[in-house]
């Protein structure tokens, strides 16, 4: 892709449910726009997802395409990236993000503005593919009936998944996962949605989350965490600056965790401070850069999320894969 406007043969994967159905319209508009602008009606194929994880299946079959565009929020970006990682590196298409979701944190990291009008679609044509990092998650699944509490269920075989922005567990993960229910019941989006979920997570299910953690191969130590985030990009939760210095091209993972126990009022204050990245001055907040970590949880009901998608696990190992995914990034210098 030496020519910045040449997407080549492109698969557009759209989540038709994103933004209360707005993404489906954006997907159709995008296909028409690219066909007219680039004068090639045969180069662009649009497919809408029909069920959870469908985007992963679609992207994993995208051999022969030059570009795969994910239309929706962080969830479809996560699924699409997981599908692309199933393709051998030399045949792997570039990933492009058309942000039409509630959080859009990966798009924010890339410098891609949310699509709010037709002319925003042209932004994809001013992008260039750059190699960016991907996080690898290896975990032992657990079946539970309750995301936020409950005993370990029947363990199954180990699995491998990938993330492009965030892996977290604890209160912050409960907040991210809680947005799905609140979005359906309240219609909230963006920061108000995540704040509402935050106040809910600090309610009757508020607790600490003890974990045995081994960082960069060091002996495991027990931590009583309130929240623990592993970041590739600087934000999650619709712009909360959890690790403000995280860089998706530095070959490192940034971690931020809150050591407990602590009163819920203190935890809520840290949540609010994290919107502007001001939480790091608190002595209960710890940050550092790492390459790998392994977490063993005391039960299988901990809230755990990767790019906003639920993981049920008793043990998680995370590592960084530097520069393995080519991602379309604006060339106007907006990505930090």
DSSP, collapsed to helix, strand or coil, labels residue 258 as strand
**Nearest Cα to Cα of residue 121 among 47, 25, 19, 34:** 34
Domain contains 212:
yes
Q: Quick one: 142 and 129 in the same domain?
A: no
Q: Quick one: 117 and 243 in the same domain?
A: no
Question: What are the pLDDT digits (tens) for 181-226?
Answer: 776 777 777 778 777 777 777 777 788 999 999 999 999 999 999 9
Q: Quick one: 146 and 272 in the same domain?
A: yes
Q: Quick one: 175 and 277 in the same domain?
A: yes
Neighbours of 250 (CB within 10 A): 16
Q: What average pLDDT score do residues 270-293 get?
A: 94
Q: Quick one: 126 and 212 in the same domain?
A: no
Q: What is the CATH number of the domain that holds 111?
A: 3.40.50.10330
Q: What is the pLDDT of residue 2?
A: 42
Q: Quick one: 38 and 58 in the same domain?
A: yes
Question: What are the pLDDT digits (tens) for 216-261?
Answer: 999 999 999 999 999 999 998 888 999 999 999 999 999 999 998 8
Q: What is the mean pLDDT of the chain?
A: 88
Neighbours of 116 (CB within 10 A): 11
Domain contains 335:
no
Question: What are the pLDDT digits (tens) for 284-327?
Answer: 999 999 999 999 999 888 999 999 899 999 999 999 999 999 99
Q: What average pLDDT score do residues 28-52 get?
A: 91
Domain contains 4:
no
Q: Quick one: 143 and 177 in the same domain?
A: yes
Q: H-type helices in 10-61, by residue range?
A: 22-38, 54-60
**Nearest Cα to Cα of residue 315 among 120, 147, 99, 158:** 158
Give the Cα separation of 210 and 221 in Å (integer). Answer: 10
Q: Quick one: 30 and 146 in the same domain?
A: no
Q: Quick one: 77 and 163 in the same domain?
A: no
Q: Quick one: 192 and 79 in the same domain?
A: no
Q: What average pLDDT score do residues 76-89 get?
A: 98
Domain contains 188:
yes
Residue 102: band (very low, low, confident or very high) from pLDDT cuts 50, 70, 90: confident
Domain contains 1:
no
Domain contains 2:
no
The residue range of the domain holding 293 is 135-322
Total number of domains constituting the chain: 2
Q: What is the CATH number of the domain that holds 297?
A: 2.60.200.40
Q: Quick one: 63 and 173 in the same domain?
A: no
Q: Quick one: 148 and 125 in the same domain?
A: no
């Amino acid at each position: 892709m030496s020519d910045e406007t040449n997407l080549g043969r492109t698969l557009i994967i759209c989540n038709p449910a994103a933004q209360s159905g707005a993404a489906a319209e954006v997907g159709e508009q995008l296909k028409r726009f690219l066909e007219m602008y680039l004068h090639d009606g045969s180069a662009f194929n649009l497919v809408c997802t029909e069920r959870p994880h469908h985007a992963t299946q679609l992207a994993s079959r995208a051999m022969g395409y030059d570009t795969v565009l994910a239309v929706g929020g962080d969830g479809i970006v996560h699924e699409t990236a997981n599908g692309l990682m199933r393709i051998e590196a030399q045949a792997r298409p570039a990933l492009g993000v058309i942000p039409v979701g509630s959080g859009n944190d990966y798009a924010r990291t890339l410098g891609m503005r949310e699509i709010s009008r037709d002319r925003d679609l042209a932004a994809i044509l001013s992008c260039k593919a750059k190699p960016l990092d991907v996080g690898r998650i290896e975990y032992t699944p657990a079946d539970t009936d309750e995301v936020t509490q409950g005993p370990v269920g029947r363990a199954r075989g180990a699995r491998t998944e990938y993330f492009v922005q965030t892996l977290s567990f604890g209160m912050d993960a409960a907040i991210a996962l809680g947005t799905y229910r609140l979005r359906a019941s309240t219609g909230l989006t963006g920061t108000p949605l995540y704040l509402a979920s935050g106040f809910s997570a600090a309610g009757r299910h508020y607790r600490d989350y003890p974990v045995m953690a081994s960082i960069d191969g060091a002996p495991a130590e027990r931590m009583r965490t309130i929240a623990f985030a592993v970041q590739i990009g600087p934000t999650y939760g619709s712009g909360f600056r959890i690790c403000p210095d995280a860089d998706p091209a530095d070959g490192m993972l940034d971690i931020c965790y809150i050591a407990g126990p602590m009163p819920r009022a203190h935890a809520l204050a840290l949540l609010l401070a994290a919107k502007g990245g001001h939480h790091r001055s608190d002595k209960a907040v710890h940050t550092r850069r790492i390459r790998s970590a392994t977490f063993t949880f005391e039960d299988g009901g901990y809230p755990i999320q990767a790019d906003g998608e639920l993981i049920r696990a008793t043990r998680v190992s995370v590592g960084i894969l530097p520069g393995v995914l080519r991602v379309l990034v604006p060339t106007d210098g907006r990505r930090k």
